[in-house]
Structure formats: structure tokens, C-alpha cells
């Protein structure tokens, strides 16, 4: 049977667990799929942190870099793509990602994200817990709209990986 070599794309709010779970998925399934973390790739390309890019050039410049990166990474196959929380703000990004990927929304309840966020340093959330609430309200429908699957991240890592396993079987993907 022909296997599906589409990408696995993780979307969700900052703090929902995209980066962590991309690594968990890779380790658990001893996967040959490579992780592409769009924020990390942007930082490497620009040789600046995301914070520095926001501070020096502003959010719209960051969004432009993010879209370019998403377009190029979407053309690859067999990748676990961990996206930035704002990737869903641009429909074009989601078109590229969806064309060649299974999009999984990691849904972590807002109160859990806020609990974890104490002391975090990312630009859109730094010292701005209430901003997270606004972002969540603005974005929740978009995350749902663009996802092929939704996994609730309230339970254990094992539960999460079981859900991933079901998706892989259904989609005929061998990581």
C-alpha cells in the first residue's frame, strides 16, 4: 500500500505545546521525519531572536519572514512542522501548509497556558497575560477552522501520543 508522505503540521496558541510535542512525536515513533520549527528557522536565517526581530523591525516584518518560511517548508515532504502561534492569521500560510500536510490543532485550555506562562519571555505574551486571553478569543475559531484534527492537551503525554497514533493510522502515514 502506498504510504502518505504528507507533513505533520502542529498549530496552536503560544504555550500549547507545539515545540515540545514535535520532539515527543519524533522520539516516540523513532521517526525519520525531520522537525522544522518555523520560529527556529527564522531565527537561524536572520541570526536574531524572535524578540529582536519584533523589537527592531516590528511584527509585520516578522509575519513576512514567517510566510516566506512557511511557503518553502510546505513544499517539502515528511516533515513535522512546528509553527508559530500566529501562523493562522494569514490564510495563504494555511493554504500552503494544508496542501501538503495534515494540520493538527493542539488545544490547550487557556487557564493551563496561563499557569505555564508565568516567567515567559516571548514578545506577544511577555508580562501580558491578559493579552493571551484576547489572542485566544481572536484565534480559537481560526485554529479550529484550519485544522484537520484537534487534540486536547490537558491530559498526559501518553494520551497525546495515542491520539497521534490514531491519526497516523487513519492517514496512512508511517513516521
Interface residues with ligand S3P (CB under 6 A) are: 14, 18, 39, 50, 84-86, 122-124
H helix or E strand, kind and range, residue 63: helix 59-74
- Find residue 7's DSSP bridge partners: 101
- Least separation in angstroms between CB 153 and ligand S3P: 13
Residue closer to ligand S3P by CB (options 86, 101) is 86
> 33 with 78: CB under 8 angstroms?
yes
Please give the residue whose beta carbon sits closest to ligand S3P in the complex.
84
- Spatial strand order of the sheet with 101-107 comes to 34-37, 79-82, 7-11, 101-107, 149-152
- Least separation in angstroms between CB 110 and ligand S3P: 13
Residue closer to ligand S3P by CB (options 86, 173) is 86
CA 9, CA 3: separation in Å to the nearest integer?
A: 17
Total number of residues shown for the chain: 175
- Least separation in angstroms between CB 39 and ligand S3P: 5
Residue closer to ligand S3P by CB (options 28, 139) is 139
Residue closer to ligand S3P by CB (options 39, 107) is 39
Amino acid at each position: 500500500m502506498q504510504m502518505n508522505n504528507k507533513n505533520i503540521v502542529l498549530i496552536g496558541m503560544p504555550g500549547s505545546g507545539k515545540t515540545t510535542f514535535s520532539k515527543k512525536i519524533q522520539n516516540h515513533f523513532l521517526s525519520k521525519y525531520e522537525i522544522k520549527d518555523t520560529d527556529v528557522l527564522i531565527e537561524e536565517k536572520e541570526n536574531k531572536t524572535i524578540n529582536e526581530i519584533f523589537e527592531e523591525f516590528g511584527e509585520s516584518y516578522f509575519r513576512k519572514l514567517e510566510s516566506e518560511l512557511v511557503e518553502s517548508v510546505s513544499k517539502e515532504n515528511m516533515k513535522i512542522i512546528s509553527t508559530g502561534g500566529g501562523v493562522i492569521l494569514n490564510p495563504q500560510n494555511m493554504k500552503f501548509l494544508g496542501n501538503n500536510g495534515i494540520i493538527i490543532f493542539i488545544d490547550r485550555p487557556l487557564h493551563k497556558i496561563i499557569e505555564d506562562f508565568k516567567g515567559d519571555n516571548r514578545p506577544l505574551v511577555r508580562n501580558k497575560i491578559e493579552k493571551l486571553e484576547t489572542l485566544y478569543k481572536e484565534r480559537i475559531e481560526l485554529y479550529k477552522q484550519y485544522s484537520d484534527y484537534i487534540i486536547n492537551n490537558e491530559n498526559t503525554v501518553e494520551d497525546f501520543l495515542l491520539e497521534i497514533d490514531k491519526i497516523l493510522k487513519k492517514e496512512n502515514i508511517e513516521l
